[in-house]
Amino acid sequence: MKKFFKRFWVFIPLILAVAMYFILPHFPAVCEYVFSRGLFKLITVPIGFVASLIPISLTELLAVLALPALVTVIAVFAVKLAKSRHRRKTLLKAGKFTAGFLSIACFMYMVCHGVNYYRYPIETLMNLDTSQKTPDDLYNACVILAQGAAQAREELEIPDSEPFTFSESLYTELSRANDGYKQLVSEYPFLWTSILRVKPVILSEPWSYTGITGMYFPLFAECNANTAQPDYAIPFTAAHESAHSRGIAFENECNFLAFLSCINSTYPEYRYSGYMEAFVYCSNALYSYDPELWRGTQQYLTNGMYLDFSAMNEYIDSYKGKVSEVSETVNDTFIKVQGVEDGVFSYDRVTELILAYYARSKM
């Protein structure tokens, strides 16, 4: 037995990860209170706190160094194998090391992010009624969002003839992502974290070809934002990635919390970003239901808001191509593997949560 354990212990983390993947979806209460509010916080909060003290993106650094590091390791191994008198033993050791590394990585991913897909949904945790709403409800939400964005932009004192730009540095703006969560945490303590900042990605320009505007890397508990996108959208992205660091896995739920935290922020640029991004989701949904009602919402958009929407459309169009298509396919597959049937389209389901939020506000 000892001999068997000595040979195959490296697969134990992988076995645990696979067991969690198949068993935990049937036990949301265990996921909620043992993992998402327990083990997840216990591991990621201190890791994320330390990582956030470092100003550069560790995720980006890892991505840049991964390929040369892999090539170096393979080269060193090839030399060692060529000089070895016991090549079979050397190969087995290398295989065991690789298997152990991947096994531990799979287990850490499940604990640091994967299990959060199986916790209670945000509508349960926040007591939201996500039953189907009418097109009129959607229209009213669009009006509220457009008016909120217009007011926030006015507070920013940006001329209506100019697109939105930050008045502070990117580092300063990204450090404000937690501000809007303070009120939410007081009402929903499960959203607490000690992660201090969202990191700007230096290579945001080439990263834009993937179509990805933000990334949360679970093993570092690190939030990253693509800063090549128009400035007005960056606060929402930062708040979205921050939601992941607080134990929320589903993309639509992160979008919803990004919206809520932004509109509760003391900083008008965050309120503007939250209202603008939420308007895009809701107005797109309204257009698919009733184009005539959708046209009625356009009167509430200011010229400055149109400029910002145009800047985003130009940004998206300029980076479209094969890379973005492959990236979307990979992201879609990854999300579906987590049990989310609609993959990347799940981002759009934030509309249901926004409507539920405004419906509750009327009560």
**pTM for the whole thing?**
0.92
CA distances 5 to 1, 2, 8, 298, Å, are 6, 5, 5, 66
- Mean of per-residue pLDDT scores for the chain: 91
Task: Give the per-residue pLDDT at 348.
Answer: 65
Percentage of residues in the chain with pLDDT exceeding 70? 93
Q: Is the pLDDT of residue 133 over 70?
A: yes
177 or 334: which leads in pLDDT: 177
H helix runs in 55-86, sequence order: 58-83
pLDDT in tens, 335-357: 777 767 766 555 568 999 999 99
- Tell me the C-alpha distance between 269 and 160, whole Å: 15
Instruction: Write out the H or E segment, with its range, that includes residue 199.
Output: strand 199-200
| Backbone Cα Rg of the chain | 23
Q: Is the pLDDT of residue 83 over 90?
A: no
Q: Mean pLDDT throughout 102-113?
A: 95
User: Do 249 and 113 contact (CB within 8 A), yes or no?
Assistant: yes
At which residue do the structure tokens 């940006």 appear?
A: 158
10 or 190: which leads in pLDDT: 190
- Tell me the C-alpha distance between 145 and 137, whole Å: 12
On the CB side of 303, CA atoms within 13 Å amount to 5
- Tell me the C-alpha distance between 340 and 164, whole Å: 35
Task: Give the per-residue pLDDT at 96.
Answer: 82
Task: Give the per-residue pLDDT at 185.
Answer: 96
